[in-house]
Amino acid sequence: MPRIYIPADRITGDEVFLEARETRHIVKALRLGPGDEVTVFNGEGDEYVAQLSEDEQKGVTLLIKEAFRPEREAPFEITLGQGLLKGEKMKFVIQKATELGTATIVPLVSARSIPTVEEERESLRLQRWQRIAQEAARQCGRAVVPQVERFMTLEEVLSESVGAGLVLWEAEPTPLREVLPQIDASLGLTILIGPEGGFSEDEVSVAQSRGYLVAGLGRRILRAETAALSVLSIIQHRFGDLG
């Protein structure tokens, strides 16, 4: 059954209100007509089986036949603070982090990040990244869409984070497998991964002073996007619902 994302504010009672682009997608791309059914998710944990309906006054709408809350979320909340990456690499990280159950994604501005963009362009990037998270949630079957937060500095992330904290750093000799037993993920876990040039030693020291644990991922230096995918997989296998 086709699966589509509709924000919660456009789901009222037993009716789902569609915008023009969504109607075009359902009718032209999916080739559905009156009586056909789709799965709708609102990004906040709710899913619906809805039937396509059409009349002269309302146009094309979806009528809800069944509502439910699937249990597909990780048993604890993961926040990923990802140092800003060049080109399409941030898109890749957001997509895979969504598939791996991340709850919040923070574009992190650190000492070695690419230059920050102007406010208008930053807003457009965030909108695009949020759409990527929505599409990834649709594809992987999540009913919750991760929140892509505003650009934040390392200090802001450290000040606002709750629960356990973990920094991945290529210069750290202690492997992640030795750090994992020290992590209590029950209250949430914030994972920080640097940009292409990694975190500076000063940044790692500041994070440690705030209670963050520091770990490495082995003898080879991984690309930032590979590190994100690797550590999220390991964490979800150890504490979550992967594997």
* Structural domain of 15: 3-68
Beta strands in 98-221 (DSSP E): 104-109, 147-148, 152-153, 164-168, 189-193, 213-215
Q: Over the chain, what is the mean pLDDT? A: 93
Tell which residue, 80, 14, 76, 90, has the closest CA to residue 51.
14
Q: What is the pLDDT of residues 95-122, one digit of tens each?
A: 999 999 999 999 999 998 876 556 668 8
Q: Using the Cα atoms of residue 19, residue 24, residue 27 and residue 30 in order, give the sign of their dihedral.
A: negative
Name which residue leads in pLDDT, 54 or 31: 31
Q: Is residue 73 part of a domain?
A: no
The answer, yes or no, to whether residue 172 has pLDDT greater than 90, is: yes
- Pair (120, 166) in one structural domain: yes
Give the pLDDT of residue 121: 83
Q: Is residue 16 part of a domain?
A: yes
- Pair (98, 49) in one structural domain: no
Q: Which residue type sits at 47?
A: E
pLDDT bracket for residue 87 (50, 70, 90): confident
Phi, psi angle pair for 26, to nearest 5°? -70, -45
Number of domains in the chain: 2
Mean pLDDT score, 44-48:
96
Query: Would strands 37-41 and 3-5 be described as parallel, antiparallel, or unpaired?
Result: parallel
Burial call 33-68: b when 16+ CB within 10 Å, e when fewer: eeebbbbbbbbebbbbebbbbeeeeeebbbebeeee
Residues in the chain: 243
Give the pLDDT of residue 118: 61
- Pair (52, 120) in one structural domain: no
Q: What is the pLDDT of residues 207-243, one digit of tens each?
A: 999 999 999 999 999 999 999 999 999 999 999 999 8
∠ CA 173-178-184, nearest 5°, is 125
- Pair (98, 141) in one structural domain: yes
Q: Which one of 12, 37, 68 terminates a domain?
A: 68
Q: Using the Cα atoms of residue 91, residue 92, residue 93 and residue 95 in order, give the sign of their dihedral.
A: positive
Q: What is the pLDDT of residues 124-141, one digit of tens each?
A: 999 999 999 999 999 999
What CATH number is associated with residue 11?
2.40.240.20
- Pair (127, 234) in one structural domain: yes
Max CA separation in the chain (angstroms): 68
**Residue 181 CB burial class (10 angstroms; 0-12, 13-18, ≥19):** exposed
**Alpha carbons 40 and 118: distance in angstroms, whole number:** 35
pTM, whole model, 2 decimals? 0.91
Cα–Cα distances in angstroms (integers) from residue 102 to residues 92, 99, 142, in the given order: 14, 8, 11
Q: Which one of 42, 68, 94 terminates a domain?
A: 68
- Pair (64, 86) in one structural domain: no
The DSSP result for 157-226, as a single string, is HHHH--SEEEEE-TT--SBHHHHGGG--GGG-EEEEE--TT---HHHHHHHHHTT-EEEB--SSPPPHHH
What CATH number is associated with residue 112?
3.40.1280.10
**Alpha carbons 79 and 76: distance in angstroms, whole number:** 10
- Pair (172, 233) in one structural domain: yes
The answer, yes or no, to whether residue 61 has pLDDT greater than 90, is: no
Give the pLDDT of residue 234: 97
